[in-house]
Chain A
Amino acid sequence: DTEVTQTPKHLVMGMTNKKSLKCEQHMGHRAMYWYKQKAKKPPELMFVYSYEKLSINESVPSRFSPECPNSSLLNLHLHALQPEDSALYLCASGHRGEAFFGQGTRLTVV
């Protein structure tokens, strides 16, 4: 099973809303990632968790707050987003050389 599952698949939220994106993997990977991707561009790394600890924060604004409750789950809490934050948010997990991505959450901020 090389699946990374993300929910929801689509999300529309207002600029004053609070929402969360969820990611789950059962491959035993100890590294998990959040990426943001704009249309036809490569993904941009946001956060890396290694062994459930935040190891990289790519200077992401505080309106994005990651959380890793356990080794299988990764959340991204969203608050007071801007329209320019609309994008495809991708979760990935990795082990050694492999890095597997979920199908993403398409987020629209209105």
Chain B
Amino acid sequence: GEDVEQSLFLSVREGDSSVINCTYTDSSSTYLYWYKQEPGAGLQLLTYIFSNMDMKQDQRLTVLLNKKDKHLSLRIADTQTGDSAIYFCAESTGNNRKLIWGLGTSLAVNP
């Protein structure tokens, strides 16, 4: 079945770059997403990439997609303490847009 995997924890120093990785199994994935969730809050759509793209950049965020290896990464440049959160990778296929979620990567940013 469909599966999305992420490492559970990442710790970086403020000002460094963070790279959060995700792998997925469904080769028919249409869209791949990164969501951010701060404690007690809802899910914020950070960015998404269509499966025919290799890269997408939006200010400090860079998403790279390796479709052959089914690998997705999110790079956050100049990581700040406000970036501390859980980051969920998700993919969707089909018209019902059902999202398949990873377990989330908890990013800790140390001053």
Q: Which residues of A contact B (CB under 8 A)?
A: 2, 6, 31, 40-43, 45, 48, 50, 55-56, 88, 90, 92, 94, 97-104, 106
Query: In the complex, A78 Cα to B99 Cα: how many Å?
Result: 24
- Nearest A-chain residue to B88, judged by Cβ: A42
Query: In the complex, A40 Cα to B99 Cα: how many Å?
Result: 17
The answer, yes or no, to whether B97 is at the interface (CB within 8 Å) is yes
Give residues 38-68 of B contacting A (CB, 8 Å).
40-45, 48, 50
Query: In the complex, A73 Cα to B41 Cα: how many Å?
Result: 21
B96 adjacent to A42 (CB under 8 Å): no
Query: In the complex, A51 Cα to B39 Cα: how many Å?
Result: 32
Chain B residues near A106: list those with CB within 8 A. 40
Chain A residues near B90: list those with CB within 8 A. 42
Q: Is the interface of B mostly helix, strand, loop or mixed?
A: strand
Chain B residues near A88: list those with CB within 8 A. 42
Q: Mark B17-37, 1 if CB is under 8 A from A, else 0.
A: 000000000000011010100
Q: Is the interface of A mostly helix, strand, loop or mixed?
A: strand
Query: In the complex, A56 Cα to B101 Cα: how many Å?
Result: 17
Q: Known A40-B104, A97-B31; judge A31-B97 contact (CB<8 A).
A: yes
Chain A residues near B40: list those with CB within 8 A. 106
Identify A97's interface contact among B48, B98, B101, CB under 8 A.
B48
Chain B residues near A42: list those with CB within 8 A. 88, 90, 101-104
Chain A residues near B33: list those with CB within 8 A. 99
B97 adjacent to A90 (CB under 8 Å): no
26 cross-chain CB contacts under 8 A = A2-B45, A31-B97, A40-B106, A42-B90, A42-B102, A42-B103, A42-B104, A45-B99, A48-B98, A50-B96, A55-B96, A56-B96, A90-B43, A92-B43, A94-B97, A97-B31, A97-B48, A97-B50, A98-B45, A99-B33, A99-B45, A100-B45, A101-B35, A101-B44, A102-B42, A104-B41
Give residues 54-111 of B contacting A (CB, 8 Å).
86, 88, 90, 92, 96-99, 101-104, 106
